[in-house]
Structure formats: structure tokens, C-alpha cells
Structure 1
Amino acid sequence: MNDSVPSSISLPLPLGFRWSAVRAGIKASGKPDLALAACDTPAEAGVMYTSNQVVAAPITVGRKHLAATGGKVSAVIVNAGNANCATGEPGIEACHQSCVAVADAFGCVFDEIFPSSTGIIGVPLPVEKLMAAVPIAKAALGSGAESAEAFATAILTTDTKLKVAQENFTIDGKTVNLFGCAKGAGMIGPQLVPHATMLVYLFTDLGACSAHLTAMLSAAAKTSFDCISIDGDMSTNDTVLLLASGKSGAVAQGETVPLFEAALQRVCDTLAYKIIDDGEGVTHVVTLEISGAANNEDATAIAKTIATSPLCKTAWSSADPNWGRLLAAAGRAGVAFDPGQVQIAIGALPVFEYGVRAESFDEAATHAAMSEREYTIAIQMGHGPGRARFVTCDLTHEYVSINADYST
């Protein structure tokens, strides 16, 4: 990291962790592609994975490791440039070998190593390159901002921006720190379950058990990572990992719990937004605010249908105020409602009210509002208390070009 460039990490980092990144030779670009995070002592882990039926080798291996250790992790190894998915038993063995290499380097059992991969699907993982790079990565470990930023950078693939977020709070004289980083710019339509990919790693020095961490993470993800979409495609590798070292001396009980839950929610919300803002080919970030649905589940279903509609997304790319596409998408969401009760506003400008085009609809003004980089579409369904907030984006020629040539 160039000292003349301000670090994106400004708050103190959680105690008990060290980070590094090196070039293992997996990315064709030659950029750093192996990220390593080490815990001074085994950390408690909360985790959520993709709900895709097709999963990458590191998810299969990671699940077994966490089950074997009761949710304890000593190190995290992430490779970018190869998803190690649809690679059969050799892929599982390659993942296992990389974990053994890290465990040998740190003198722990291989079950305490948490693996992740991101990149192209179906290509054998050159595990020998990973194994050769592990000692170099270990030697480069550091606990400062430069090291954490290197880790956050090495996990990127088609991303163009670093995605990090931080929070801290003090209770009873003890300061709890939370640091998170993420990658993701395409194949983003996560539906996470407890038990290109979007990878999220969260580190805290709070003391908490694995089950409690997973419960808090699940709640935070429900309204952040599960409420974003770039293209609606669910990855085979989606992973959100929360590690707690306990080194702050504060534990997850009493008044500490809501403070940490709020901090975790803010970090997850920030990272989720940054993923959409850096989406492949994105020129507009659109926040959908659905209200007045029968319940929150109905509101989310409407939001997700609109967020993943190619017709809506292409209209957004040219700032076309085609509100009819919004209404039509809502109508096929599988949710019962009366169009005569619906109100739609784009950038606070009314476009549809109670079954017909809004009397005050101003096409030019709405086009201008949609020409902004970020704007909100608010839809009031007129049926009940259900609400949802969903962050999505437009669909552009650049997105098509990136993904048409991805494997070649």
C-alpha cells in the first residue's frame, strides 16, 4: 500500500487477528490471489453459506471442519481466480491439501482451517501453487491496516473497488472493534442459509460462542446481503464468516448484545451496498422501498422480482421512466394485491397512483432523477404493514461484455 494514499481503514482493528496477501500465481493478471487471516488463539466462528444445491469444494470442506471443531477457526485461507467448484473429488482433495499446508505452518489441526475460493467454475485448482505460497503468506502476516487492506484486496476478482467497513463501541471501559471486508461484483443474488461470488469476512474481538455469532449474523444478513442483487444469479461459493477472538475482554451478554448487533448490522449494510455500487457495468444504484404489503415476506418478494427483472434493469440503464415495467414485475411476484391501491414514486416524484398514471407525472423530471448515480423507487402497496428495502442496479452493455468473455 502506497503511504501517500490514505488507508480505507481508519478505526482500530480487532485484537487477536493478523492478515496478509501474496501472489500464488492463480490469477492470470499476476495480482495477489492468496489471502490469509490468522487467529492468535482459535476464534469462535459464525458462518452462512449459499443455498445453491451446487456448492464449491471449500464449502463442503469448511462445513465439515466447523462441525469437527465445534465452530473454532485458527486461520482462513482464501484463493481468488479459481472457484474450485464442479471439480469432483480432486477438488475436495486440493482443498484438503491447502488446509493441511496452513495447519502445518501454524502447528494446529487441519480442521481449524477455514477455506474459501472464488473465480471461474470447473477448472482444476492448482493447489501446488497455493501450498508453495503459504509459508510466504505466513511470513507476511501483520495486524495493522496495511495487512488487513492487503487481505481485502487479494480476494477481489472482477471488482474494481475495495470493500471494507468498520465499527467500534465501548462498554464498561472495554472497546469492541469490528472489521469487515467483502468481494463481489457479479453473480450476486445471494440467499444465505446458516450452516461471483460474494465472500464476506468479519472479524471482532468480542467474546461470543459460535451459535450466538451465527444467530446474530443470520439476523444481520437477512436485511443486508439477502436484500441485494446485481444479476439475480446465486453463486456456488457465497460465504459470510464472522470470527470472534474475545480479546477485547467484553462478552456477548446483557447490554453488549444490542450494541454489537447494531454495529454488525451497519457493517453488513455498508458492505452489501458497496457490492452493488461496484457491480459489473453498473451505472445506477437503485434502492427499492416497498411498503404497505400484507407482510414483510410479500414486500421482499415484490422487491426481489423488480430487482431482477431484465426489463426494469435495462430501463434503469438509460434512465427511462417506464413505470409500467415496475408494476408488471410486481404483478408477477406471486403476491396478491389490488393495483388500484398502489402508488409508485421514482426519486420522490409520483409516477403511478391508484390504478392509473399519476396526474402530476413529469416524464422529463423523472428522467432527470433517474439519471443520477443513486436514487430510490418507492412503492406503496396499500394493503398492510409489510415493508422491505432492496438494493439493486441497472443492466448495461458492459455487464454483458464482461460476462460474455469471462472464461476466455
Structure 2
Amino acid sequence: MHNITTPATAETDPLLPADAVPLGFRFAATRAGIKPSGRIDLACAEAAGGTTAAAMFTSNLVVAAPVTVGRRNLVESRGAVRAVIVNSGNANCATGAQGLAAAEATCQAAAALFACPAAEVVPSSTGIIGVPLPVDKLLAALPQLQTSLASGADAFSAFARAILTTDTRPKVAHRAVVIDGKIVRLAGAAKGAGMIHPRLSPPHATMLVYLFTDALADAATLRSMLQGGAEPSFNRISIDGDTSTNDTVLLLASGAAGIPVPAEHAGFRQALDAICHELALAIVEDGEGVTHVVTLEITGAPSDADALVVAKAIAHSPLVKTAWAGNDPNWGRLASTIGASGVAIDPVKLTITLAGLPVCERGERSPRFDETAVHAAMSERRFTIAIDLAVGDGSCRFWTTDLTTEYVHINADYSS
């Protein structure tokens, strides 16, 4: 298994090596006029006949129209997908019957272009909520999108850039696995910078993730693999604690490499897990206004689920996150948040270290606490906070960010 990272130096440079894009897919992007900026805002991924898919969607009860339609289509098609249509600049959420009609019209128009049932089209949207999608612009741009489809790194890169909103950069990852002497490729593209606290559930500003492989696998196998990869990655990140209405993770397998991959294949699962992890961290790194990326390592919890509760309580605390923004070694905010999390702890057993430096021992200020050293450690962009509750065997690793004035400015002005 190998991975090669090639940084792009310009907006049109390929984001992946030429041989990294999975076989059996073509990609395209164009300007449909949905974004006021005039930048590319409509993307398509065409899949070869026989492509199978699995998806995980937001658990938010306010659900965007493309999520409703995409979920239904995957059930109706039994996991068969021929095209993915993604628009950025408008979430098509809280738009009522008009929004559902727009998502359905998108699928029908794409189905006519790709000569497939409408149920084999998955729509996605990202952007502002509560504003009707200008679907006429989208439909008018679809034929141009279809005629410009191409395989290869340039086309994949255009797809990855077209799905962005407040992101400052595209996010891609890839792996290759050798199976029976042949190469199976995996590649993924993601967007997300704010409104990030995914709580993905099985098929039932936003995180969108599209994963492609040329392996041969049925939909049930893909579902098993996707759920295994998403739980310790996309479901373990948070920027602001807000779960989007449009969160989507879609895994497609074209089978073009001709290599069947069973659910238990360790090498393939490791590659998929690695891509999920890499993309999840890329989203956190590109968080709106972020100046610190913090890894939370929770141990000694009553259970793994309790450890996750503690991690989320910390990750979503404005008091804690603003302290991080100011490089303030105020560990008391951590202790207070842990105690208020609802998890049964024994305060006198609590231990906290920051970047390996002791700040709290047995529920009190550590006698080895060096405020100057901790402040210096917090001045780095990345640091780890380790918390040992010492009451059980539960553990969790979680990635989050600080909360800065720039985040406030971005979101105070988002719709205007």
C-alpha cells in the first residue's frame, strides 16, 4: 500500500498524480451561476455501468432536499449509481416542495443525459440554507457538464474544487493497494470548513465526501466498509459543534480494476480508513478562522461512549475553545467542562497533560505545572490534550479546533 502527496501550486494544477485516479469514473466541473462570485459551482462524477455505492448522511432532523432524494434513490436502485451531481453555493435546504422538486428535476435531467434511471443519480448541495435553489441555472449547465467529462487527475481536481464553499483549499487523498498482483486504486475528495460536527448515520456550509475505487464490491460490502471507516474519522471531528443539514459521505466502486474485494480484506479496509482519516483531518485543518488544531485523547472513562461524550463536551465549549485561541493555559476550564459533561467521574482521579506537560494531577493543579512552558506549547498550531479519568477502560481520540474572532466574522457575514 502506498500514498503519494503532490501539492498543487495553482488553481488549475492537478491535485493527484496522473495514475492515482480510480478507473471507471469521469469528472467535470463548470460555472452554473449559482455562486455570486462566479466561480465554478457545479460538479459531476460519472460512474461506469455496474458501479455500486453506499452512503452515510446527516442525522440532523432538518434534512436538505438532495439528502432526502439521494437516500431514496440509493434504496430504490439498490446501491446502483451512474452519476453524482453536486452544486455549491446553495444548500437546497428548508426550501419545501420546491426544493424537493429541484433535486428530483436534477436527477431526471441527468438521467436523460446519462441514459440511466433517475434513481441512479445522487444529487448533493452545499451552501446557504433557506434560499431556493436556482435549478434552471443548474439544468441549463448540465449538458455542458456532461460533454466536458474526462478521466484523469485534471478532471478529478476540477471536481474537488467545484464543491468548495468557505474552504480555503481543496481536500483530496488517495491510496493504492496491490491485490493478487494487480493495483486497486482509491481516491477521495471532500469539502468542509464550518458547520462541522458530523453525526453520520447509515442510509437513511456542510461536509461532503466522495470516495471512489475501481475495486469490485457489492453495496452491502461497501456499507460495512464505509461505516467502519467513518466512525473513527468523520464522526470524530468538530469545528463548531453544529451538525449540517447536508452532510454526505458517498463511496462508489466501479469494479473497473476487475478485482473483487471482500468485506474482510484488511489491506483495502486499511486504505479506505486511511483516506477517511486524512480527509477528516484536512477538514479540521481548514476550519473557518482556525489557528489551533487540537487532538483530544480521553482515557480511563467508564466506556468508549462516555469518553466520546467528554471529548465532545470539551470540543464544543466556547470557554475552552476561546482559551485555546488565546494560548491561555487555563486548564480549569477543561476540568469544569469534564465535570459538567454528565459522565460519572471521580474528580480526585482526574489527570490532564497538554503537549505532554502536566497541568492537573489528582484533580488539582500539578506541582509540576509550568505556565510559561504550557503557554509556549499552546502557541503551536497543533497540540494534544490527554485526559485520564481513571475510572474505567473507555477511550476516545477526537480532533477539534479553537474558536477565533475570524470565525465570528465569517459567519456573521455569511449570508450578506
Q: TM-score, normalised by structure 2?
A: 0.96
In the alignment, what sits opposite 1:387? 395
Determine if the alignment matches structure 1 residue 237 to structure 2 residue 241.
no
In the alignment, what sits opposite 2:139? 131
Three-state SS of the structure 1 residue aligned to 2:125 is strand
State the one-letter code of the partner of 1:205: D
CA distance in 2, matches of 1:63, 1:373: 38
In the alignment, what sits opposite 2:355? 347
- 1:1-400 equivalences under 5 Å are 7-10=14-17, 12-195=20-203, 196-253=205-262, 257-400=265-408
Three-state SS of the structure 1 residue aligned to 2:127 is strand
Deviation at 1:42, TM superposition (A): 3.5
State the one-letter code of the partner of 2:68: T
Q: Is the 8 A contact 2:54 2:252 kept in 1?
A: yes
CA distance in 1, matches of 2:389, 2:14: 44
Three-state SS of the structure 1 residue aligned to 2:48 is strand
Three-state SS of the structure 2 residue aligned to 1:117 is strand
State the one-letter code of the partner of 2:220: A
Indicate which of 397, 405, 409 corresponds to 1:401. 409
Deviation at 1:36, TM superposition (A): 0.3
State the one-letter code of the partner of 1:225: F
Q: Is the 8 A contact 2:26 2:151 kept in 1?
A: yes
State the one-letter code of the partner of 1:207: L
State the one-letter code of the partner of 1:127: V
Q: Is the 8 A contact 2:12 2:158 kept in 1?
A: no
Q: Is the 8 A contact 2:207 2:247 kept in 1?
A: yes
User: What is the CA deviation profile of residues 112-166 of structure 1, one whole-angstrom value per residue up to 9, with x for unaligned ones?
Assistant: 1000000001111111111111111111111110100100000000000110000
Q: Is the 8 A contact 2:20 2:175 kept in 1?
A: no
Three-state SS of the structure 2 residue aligned to 1:20 is strand
CA distance in 2, matches of 1:123, 1:114: 21
Three-state SS of the structure 2 residue aligned to 1:403 is helix
Deviation at 1:293, TM superposition (A): 1.2
Tell me the C-alpha RMSD between the 2 structures: 1.4
CA distance in 2, matches of 1:75, 1:307: 36
Deviation larger for 314-323 or 136-145: 136-145
CA distance in 2, matches of 1:334, 1:7: 47
Distance 1:254 1:174, change over 3 A: farther
Deviation at 1:12, TM superposition (A): 1.8
Question: Which 4+ runs in 1 deviate beyond 4 A?
Answer: 1-6
Deviation at 1:334, TM superposition (A): 1.3
Q: Is the 8 A contact 1:152 1:163 kept in 2?
A: yes
Three-state SS of the structure 1 residue aligned to 2:332 is helix
Q: Is the 8 A contact 2:92 2:130 kept in 1?
A: yes
Q: Is the 8 A contact 2:225 2:263 kept in 1?
A: no
- For structure 1, the residue ranges without an aligned partner over 5 or more in a row are none
Q: Percent identity?
A: 57
State the one-letter code of the partner of 1:249: G
- For structure 2, the residue ranges without an aligned partner over 5 or more in a row are 1-7
Deviation at 1:5, TM superposition (A): 7.4
Q: Is the 8 A contact 1:174 1:249 kept in 2?
A: no
Q: Is the 8 A contact 2:221 2:262 kept in 1?
A: no
